[in-house]
Structure 1
Amino acid sequence: MKKSLRFGSAIAIAAVASLTLASCGFGGGDGDDSASGETTLDLLVPSYSDATQGLWEDVIDGFEDANPDITVNLEVQSWDNLESVIATKIQGGEAPDIYNGGPFAGFVADELLYPVEDVVSPDTFSDFQDSFLANAEVDGTAYALPLIASARALFVNNALLQQAGVEAPTNWDELLDAATKVSALGGGVAGYGMPLGSEEAQAEAAVWLWGGGGTFGDAETITVDDPSNLPGAEQVKKMIDAGATQADPGSTQRSPLMDIFIQGKIGMQVGLPPTVGQIAEGNPDLDYSIVPIPTKDGSPFTLGVMDQLMAFQNDGDKQEAITKFFDYYYSADVYVPWVQSEGFLPVTKSGAEALSGEEALAPFLEVLPGAQFYPSTNPQWSATDAAFKALFGQIQTKPAQDVLTEIQAQSDAG
């Protein structure tokens, strides 16, 4: 594999692919058999890769071997379906016992979740990185366990940039110039891959809005329709209007667009740690670099993402079983292979120590200190997230200010 990193060299990590996976249904009943002394836990998770289901099945097999009185029923959903699935289950009184997802503050407001200190041992709780645990708190109490963390960086096709006579950009002016010149090469090549479709529009929006000094708000207030966000939104539109992106970015999904980058048809696109593994499997000869995301003025920035595990208070008799599962999963010999296989960053101190020598993670670990996170502890964030996914792609044809105003209105409406 031909590859260079502005921060240093890297090696390939486990390959991951598309974010679609067939789901396995939950078992019937209430999951607790008092007569037999057996307990059943329902676990709902999203698909991070084609390997996700098998990785969880391995964890469950090991856990059930160690705890023969506990059965874990696994359901895997795509990210596109996950939030509607969990909402439907909650409305039907069938919330999973354990859930791997993103926004969770709304569940806290409805008093549906256990405080995490009630469902992990003190040793497990103390092993989490403090900054990640703080990002899972509502009013000073953690209600979700950090699962994985990720930072983003710009993946650059060195060959295409060389053909266009440009270098990897560090700020918006350089990015616009470089992307426009790469697009001008023709042959189906796009300068910058801009996914504004419903899969993860909020992430691409954050890259631009925050890169221009903007913010989505904090735990108390959501601020999308804010003057600080307008420079980034207008730059998105400037990129599109200049022909610096792929065709129809407003409806383009991130995962298939990254596949096109891997095929060598996109000059630059923001990617995640697992992208390294995708390239290793899909096109190991791709000549690429990983560099910091360009911002308005070139200052350091990355979008940090942290997904969580949380436990619903469905049945008090399950609390002990949930605690056993969490303690088992987060033990270093179980958790580290899982997070390493999915290609993300560990959230535990023991995990970080175990993976400190992984060169493939170095570019992302290096930019992580400057990471900004979604305001996921704001109960309004879930509606805001949905509004970005539904509306931000319209910036392709609508004025930037109008789009920000519409997203704010939908967020405020809940």
Structure 2
Amino acid sequence: MKKSLRIGAMVATAALATMTLASCGFGGGSGGDASGSGTTLNLLVPSYSDKTQGLWEEVITGFEKENPDITVNLEVQSWDNLNDVVTTKIQGNQAPDIMNGGPFAGFAADDLLYPIEDVVSSGTLADFQESFVEASSVDGVQYGAPLIASARALFVNTDLLAQAGVAAAPKTWDELLDTAKKISALGNGIAGYGMPLGSEEAQAESAMWFFGAGGTFGDEKKITIDGVPENLKAATFMQQMITEGATQADAGATNRSPLMDIFVQGKIGMQVGLPPTVGQIAENNPALKYEIVSMPTPDGSPVALGVADHLMAFKNDDTKKEAITKFLDYYYTSDVYVPWVQTEGFLPTTKSGSEALGGEEALKPFLDLLPSAKFYPSTNPKWDATNAAFKSLMGQIAQGKAPAEVLKEIQAQADAG
């Protein structure tokens, strides 16, 4: 979830060429382990935290105990290295059997992945939240098993709200602007609303506003940033928030992570945050008084940006298909899956997982938003270019550039791929 993953056409073509040379299909080798008995699965995952490797080792230990004829080899890489590692493996005819990553459209387009329905039971398939299924599919076929979810919501410093004379968290854009300006007027370095439009996650901040206005980033077929009235409405209001002093200074160059640190310190009235923000507050400023609400929209209807990473299964060797299914079904059982997700500080993508965590008061606002979450068009091959364009260009609205021109430039960069 920290980095996007995409395989270019050149790599995929090379992988397919290699596939034709392998006696046992893409990935080569036998489904058996080194001793010639049983099945070995190779699992490639990124590290979300310093707990990731231990969590996967615990899952594997439990799985192998129940399935002594299956061995799971774990490889943990940083998000920064993951793209290069999987590219090298594919080129060397050694693709993992199961991989945890982000975008998967390039793999699916080159027929390197199993449809998820082929490698999970019907019960596991039906347990995924419907809102995640479309974001896990290409041309109506689900190739990604949603692994972890993150929804975004508005964190509100209730002490600053009270000091500004505001009785309740805003629900509409007009209320948000008014409330943020009143909080900024408190002085002492306090900002009403934290708007990070720097290179870290300008696309996420923008999405909350665009989606809230009824806009869109497009779909798997077409990226649509420019020419969408709702997008322009959102970008224009974002600029208004900045020019009227409702946000922190230099919003166009501010990144989300350091800005959230300032919110945790009690110096920002409102900012969009993630489920892990709850733990960050508990660790660094447990005395902070805050609430979590849906991001305000023009008419007050709820909106959430959903982000999900996936597990995907490569079609290396059909003799491993049954073992892959057993592993995925085991992993997604509530007793195994929920503690894994909880420890990493994210949200479950399954209905049973959401039910299991329903009593967690801090997570409830996020869980309530999941069924209606909207997603990036990450299955579109041009999404990576679009993502990069937002990060490099969207901050220009904070320097006074016309929002229409900024959206036009983002669209051009997205179209160029």
TM-score by length of 2: 0.82
Counterpart for residue 45 of structure 2? 44
CA distance 1:250–1:77, shift in 2 (3 Å): farther
Identity %: 67
Question: Which amino acid is the alignment partner of residue 151 of structure 2?
Answer: A
Counterpart for residue 171 of structure 1? 172
Asked whether the 8 Å contact 1:250–1:394 carries over to 2, the reply is yes
What is the CA distance between 1:148 and its match in structure 2? 2.4
Task: Specify which structure has the bigger relative contact order, considering alpha-carbon pairs within 8 angstroms and separated by 6 or more residues.
Answer: 1
Counterpart for residue 16 of structure 2? none
Deviation string 1:170-199 (CA, Å, 9 cap, x unpaired) is: 222222222223223233322211122333
Asked whether the 8 Å contact 1:31–1:41 carries over to 2, the reply is no
Give the distance between the partners of 1:98 and 1:196, measured in 2 at CA.
35
What secondary structure does 1:204 align onto? helix
Give the distance between the partners of 1:216 and 1:260, measured in 2 at CA.
29
Asked whether the 8 Å contact 2:130–2:371 carries over to 1, the reply is no
What is the CA distance between 1:85 and its match in structure 2? 6.0
What secondary structure does 1:202 align onto? helix
User: Which residue of 246, 266, 283 corresponds with 2:285?
Assistant: 283
What is the CA distance between 1:259 and its match in structure 2? 1.9
Counterpart for residue 376 of structure 1? 378
> Which structure 2 residues correspond to residues 136-151 of structure 1 after superposition, within 5 A?
136-151=136-151
Asked whether the 8 Å contact 1:70–1:321 carries over to 2, the reply is no
What secondary structure does 2:355 align onto? helix
Counterpart for residue 409 of structure 1? 412
> Which structure 2 residues correspond to residues 188-199 of structure 1 after superposition, within 5 A?
188-199=189-200
Q: Does 1:238 align with 2:240?
A: yes
CA distance 1:107–1:413, shift in 2 (3 Å): farther
Counterpart for residue 15 of structure 2? none
What is the CA distance between 1:287 and its match in structure 2? 0.9
CA distance 1:232–1:360, shift in 2 (3 Å): same
Question: Which amino acid is the alignment partner of residue 291 of structure 2?
Answer: S
Give the distance between the partners of 1:391 and 1:315, measured in 2 at CA.
44
What is the CA distance between 1:156 and its match in structure 2? 0.6
Question: Which amino acid is the alignment partner of residue 173 of structure 2?
Answer: W
Deviation string 1:189-244 (CA, Å, 9 cap, x unpaired) is: 22211122333222111111122221112232211112321111112222222332
TM-score by length of 1: 0.83
Give the distance between the partners of 1:276 and 1:35, measured in 2 at CA.
45
Q: Does 1:56 align with 2:56?
A: yes
What is the CA distance between 1:84 and its match in structure 2? 6.5
Asked whether the 8 Å contact 1:106–1:382 carries over to 2, the reply is no
Counterpart for residue 392 of structure 2? 390
CA distance 1:30–1:239, shift in 2 (3 Å): farther
What is the CA distance between 1:91 and its match in structure 2? 6.0
Counterpart for residue 222 of structure 2? 221
Question: Which amino acid is the alignment partner of residue 288 of structure 1?
Answer: Y
Asked whether the 8 Å contact 2:129–2:371 carries over to 1, the reply is no
Higher gyration radius (CA): 2
What secondary structure does 2:363 align onto? helix
Question: Which amino acid is the alignment partner of residue 35 of structure 2?
Answer: S
What secondary structure does 1:111 align onto? coil
Question: Which amino acid is the alignment partner of residue 222 of structure 2?
Answer: T
The gaps in structure 2 that reach 5 residues or longer are 4-26
> Which structure 2 residues correspond to residues 335-346 of structure 1 after superposition, within 5 A?
335-346=337-348
Question: Which amino acid is the alignment partner of residue 247 of structure 1?
Answer: A
User: Which residue of 242, 248, 251 corresponds with 2:250?
Assistant: 248
CA distance 1:391–1:339, shift in 2 (3 Å): same
Give the distance between the partners of 2:85 and 2:410, measured in 1 at CA.
23
Asked whether the 8 Å contact 1:31–1:40 carries over to 2, the reply is no
What is the CA distance between 1:387 and its match in structure 2? 2.5
Asked whether the 8 Å contact 1:41–1:322 carries over to 2, the reply is no
Asked whether the 8 Å contact 1:103–1:382 carries over to 2, the reply is no
Counterpart for residue 8 of structure 1? none
Counterpart for residue 117 of structure 1? 117
Counterpart for residue 106 of structure 2? 106
What secondary structure does 1:307 align onto? strand
The gaps in structure 1 that reach 5 residues or longer are 1-17, 21-28
Give the distance between the partners of 1:46 and 1:340, measured in 2 at CA.
15
What is the CA distance between 1:19 and its match in structure 2? 6.9
Asked whether the 8 Å contact 2:131–2:370 carries over to 1, the reply is no
Asked whether the 8 Å contact 1:44–1:96 carries over to 2, the reply is no
> Which structure 2 residues correspond to residues 345-356 of structure 1 after superposition, within 5 A?
345-356=347-358
Asked whether the 8 Å contact 1:194–1:249 carries over to 2, the reply is yes
CA distance 1:131–1:186, shift in 2 (3 Å): closer
Give the distance between the partners of 2:97 and 2:267, measured in 1 at CA.
43
Give the distance between the partners of 2:371 and 2:331, measured in 1 at CA.
26
Question: Which amino acid is the alignment partner of residue 174 of structure 1?
Answer: E
Give the distance between the partners of 1:97 and 1:268, measured in 2 at CA.
43
CA distance 1:94–1:200, shift in 2 (3 Å): farther
